[in-house]
Amino acid sequence: MSWLFHKSITHNDLRPATPADVPFIQEVEAYAARRYLVRCVRDAALWRYEVEGRTSGGAETMQVCVIASAAGEPVGYLVHPEVLWGDALSLWVYELRPGASWWKVTPCVMRYLKAKRDKMGHLLGLTCDDL
């Protein structure tokens, strides 16, 4: 699976979501909701709270990120906790707008998650041998 981490596969980038991203996140979430029988419904106020209102550091604190093209156009979003659970970084939500290629975007997401987990693990003193 090393091909997932080859940087030339995609030009997408991830950045922390801002309140200005909330309408886009809601649009993608509504589109994605058609695939699920059960889901968590969040209105704009709750998404703004998730993006900027929670106190950082708890297990329930979310990191909401927007996945953007090289031109800066949002193509999707993901949500993960701000802390590791044991030595793992969980991915709670990963959704793309209609027409975006899961095949092209997923390597970018995998690279982001690996880098984030490695950074968080380093802060905890974990090494590859610990995993």
**22 domain-assigned:** yes
Tell me what pLDDT residue 9 has. Answer: 39
**124 domain-assigned:** yes
> Residue 128's pLDDT band (boundaries 50, 70, 90)?
very low
Tell me what pLDDT residue 105 has. Answer: 92
**5 domain-assigned:** no
Q: Which domain holds residue 71?
A: 10-130
**3 domain-assigned:** no
Structural domains of the chain, count: 1
Residue that wins the pLDDT comparison between 54 and 41: 41
Q: pLDDT tens digits, residue range 9-25?
A: 344 689 999 999 999 99
Q: pLDDT tens digits, residue range 102-127?
A: 998 999 899 888 888 888 876 555 44
How far apart CA 117 and CA 59 sit, in angstroms, is: 15
**4 domain-assigned:** no
CA atoms within 13 A on the CB side of 82: 14
